[in-house]
Amino acid sequence: MSEGAPLPQTRDDGSMLEELFREKFPGHRFIVASNREPYEHRWADEVGEIDVRVPAGGLTSALDPLMQALGGTWVAWGSGEADAAVVDDDDVVRVPPEDPSYRLRRVWLTHRDIHRYYLGFSNQFLWPLCHLRPDLTRIRSRYWERYRRVNRRFAEAVIEEARGGPAAVWFQDYHLALAPAFVRSRRPDLLLAHFWHIPWPPVEIFRLAPQADQLLRGLLANDLIGFHLPSFADNFLRCVQRLLDVEIDWEAHSVTTGGHTCHVGAFPISIDLKAFENAAAAPSAGEQMERLRQRYAPQGGSIGIGVDRLDYSKGLPEKFKALELLWDRYPEYRERLTFIQVAVPSRSDIEAYDDLAQKVDRQVWEINDRFGTDSWRPIHLIKQSLPSERLAVLYRLADLCIVSSLQDGMNLVAKEYVASQVDDSGVLLLSCFAGAAEQMGDAILVNPYDPEMLSQQIRDALMLPPDERERLMRLLRDSSDSIFDWIHELLNAWGSLPARRH
């Protein structure tokens, strides 16, 4: 196969971001606050050896170079089993271990905190609410009270780390919606921003939250709130307009309350493009692809791929129903299309997730039992997280990728697949309900709620002539941006805001 054109040049190193931060925030320290930590310490064996693991996720890998360049502080939940063994008296460990350059300040959570703040309010209330599944929300006063308590604990850690001078604090995601207000009440001089990584629902959904006004006011304590899409930002402002008595400037996309102005904007996140492209184009990739093809599709034919967390927002049952219809109605694709689904277990302590995992297992077993042969399995289900280097090779191998999200803030799998298509030969089928669809209009946009149409679109994708596949993929690759571009745009917008009023 010929090698396609390289991805466009992007801002891809910490030094450029450091230069921007120093320009926009002179004299300020940089503090990131998130639920997940960038490094996790675990016991390696029974004699006390400790290993360091980098949790999966594009955010940590993108912010880590910036943190190393700036020498800031990252405040996060210490989730590793050996985390407490390596911190100092201030609950801090310097990272990365091979060349310590910034502080990781750990916040400790009890089992009750995890159950009520994380599994409870964050993931059995906010997550389903924001993904338009109010039927799956669990309203419990004890969840809310623990969410408030843990957010205050994060805020106290941020305030302690910001002692002695000005700082810019960047909060991440729905776990910490109240923390900015707690910080603002104690340190009104700090510069605060928040990125909300999941959808923001319409007001008709969000108003179901008994604590809607407190959540909104918690977020409005920021100077800047970022969302993936303009529609999410507009939904947020409409919620503020309907539920709070505050001044909104729709032209400037800002909200003023108590003399403080919060700006709201859209900053679509991306991935480390070069990391995926380089892994897919590595000298060993060809040999790896051949081994994978022999393992999953030795009979030849096309290979499809899906990579998702086992989450009800990802549309796995809908995807499998469409594939079942394809093999049923078009028997010529039996033994000619093999589908590999990476389904990463997630939040299995929550009933809705456990139910989904069982449903997916049952659905895949039934499809394989119905259509499989002694030498061919229609769907290969891989229920574990894979390193990005291995994923990149799988993406390059796959003739098509199906992203079937029912509701998604962005969906980075779509961008990972495109970045890994160094041969320009794959086809992306992308749910129109994924945020990525607004940026990736040259994908084949699909509606996962219509399995018959999705089945037909899978067939159409398989029948596309090579020159059309190459044309579409090149358009997608030419319009790609990097997660470093995302950080650059957000820092630039944040640092360019008018002086805050108190």
Instruction: Parse the chain into domains and list their residue ranges.
Output: 16-109+154-270+485-495, 273-480
- The predicted pLDDT at position 58 comes to 64
- The predicted pLDDT at position 79 comes to 94
Q: Which two tokens stand for residue 193?
A: 């921003």
CATH of 16-109+154-270+485-495, picked from 3.40.190.10, 3.10.20.740, 3.40.50.2000, 3.40.50.300, is 3.40.50.2000
Q: Report how far apart, in Å, the C-alpha atoms of 4 and of each of 1, 195, 298, 401 are.
A: 9, 34, 26, 18
The CATH architecture annotation of domain 273-480 reads: 3-Layer(aba) Sandwich (3.40)
Q: Report how far apart, in Å, the C-alpha atoms of 481 and of each of 144, 233, 413 are.
A: 38, 21, 14
- The predicted pLDDT at position 237 comes to 98
Per-10-residue mean pLDDT, the chain, length 502: 49 76 96 96 84 78 84 96 95 94 97 98 98 97 98 99 96 98 98 98 98 98 98 98 94 95 96 94 97 95 97 98 99 98 95 97 98 97 94 98 97 96 98 96 97 98 97 95 92 88 40
- The predicted pLDDT at position 501 comes to 41
- The predicted pLDDT at position 64 comes to 86
> Do the two domains 16-109+154-270+485-495 and 273-480 of this chain adopt the same fold?
yes
Cα separation, 16 vs 95, in Å, equals 21
- The predicted pLDDT at position 235 comes to 98
What φ, ψ does residue 133 adopt, rounded to 5°? -125, 65
Q: Which two tokens stand for residue 78?
A: 């210490």
- The predicted pLDDT at position 2 comes to 40
Contacts of 367 (CB under 8 A, 6+ apart): 320, 323, 324, 327, 378, 379
First to last CA, the chain: 61
Burial class (CB in 10 A: 0-12, 13-18, 19+), 230: middle
Question: What's the pTM value of the predicted model, to 2 decimals?
Answer: 0.94
Q: Which of 173, 231, 171, 227 is nearest to 203 (CA)?
A: 231
Cα separation, 264 vs 252, in Å, equals 8
